[in-house]
Every structure is written in C-alpha cells, then in structure tokens.
Amino acid sequence: MGLSAIREQWSGLIAMNGHMTVRSRYAIATGDLAVLSNEWTFEVDGERMSSVTAEVARRQPDGWLYVVDHPFAGSEPKTGGDRGRDGRHRRLSPARHSACLEEGDDGQDAAMGVVG
C-alpha cells in the first residue's frame, strides 16, 4: 500500500527495459482538484500496448497528489472484465491498486485504482 506499492509496480515496468511515450491530453484544475488525461504507449521486444488514462489529483502543500489513477480508461473492458458477482465493475482498494496491472496477460482487466 502507498509509496512502496507504487515503487514496486514501477520497478517491474522499468526492469522490462522498454520504451514509454506519454502525451498529455488535458489537465483541468479547479481549486485544489484537477482532472487529467494522458495517452501512453509502452513498447518492449517488439510488443506494444497503449491506452488513454483518467486521473484525479489533489493539491497538497508540497505539490499534487494523485488520488485516482486509471491507466486503462481508454480501453474497452473484456467481457466479464474486473466485475463483481452483480456484474458491476469493482472498485479497487488502495492495496489492490498496485496489483491491478498484474492481472491478466495484457493488463486490460485493470479497473480504477484509488490511492492516497
């Protein structure tokens, strides 16, 4: 949970020695909240994955803190996806956020994660 979980997730991605390209789509702030979206592509060993993000950040005294980070917001969910028994998408707890990219072979099962 927290910074150690985020650090662990990123260290696995960095260890793949791939190439990531990120393009900011928009950042709209009002008061201490902001909604952001980026388009990203990650390539490694001839394989490529990409999506569009949806993020919410909160202004802190020392900068901005992401409180919602959905790295696959622009991807269509798979049939079934990350859903509960009632068929609705599940919300991930902070502990599950760091593991969301590890689900499935292509990360498409990731649902919205909440941190902070």
Instruction: Residue 39: give its domain's CATH number.
Output: 3.10.450
DSSP helix/strand/coil, 14? helix
Indicate left, alpha or beta for 35 from its phi (over 0: left) and psi (-120 to 50: alpha): beta
Domain range for 30 is 3-76+88-114
Number of structural domains in the chain: 1
The mean per-residue pLDDT over the stretch 25-50 comes to 95
pLDDT surpassing 60 at residue 102: no
pLDDT at 2: 77
Instruction: Name the band, by pLDDT with cuts 50, 70 and 90, for residue 110.
Output: very low
pTM of the model: 0.60
Q: Which residue bears the tokens 């990731």? A: 110
Q: Is residue 82 a part of any domain in this protein?
A: no
Both tokens of residue 15?
A: 């260890």
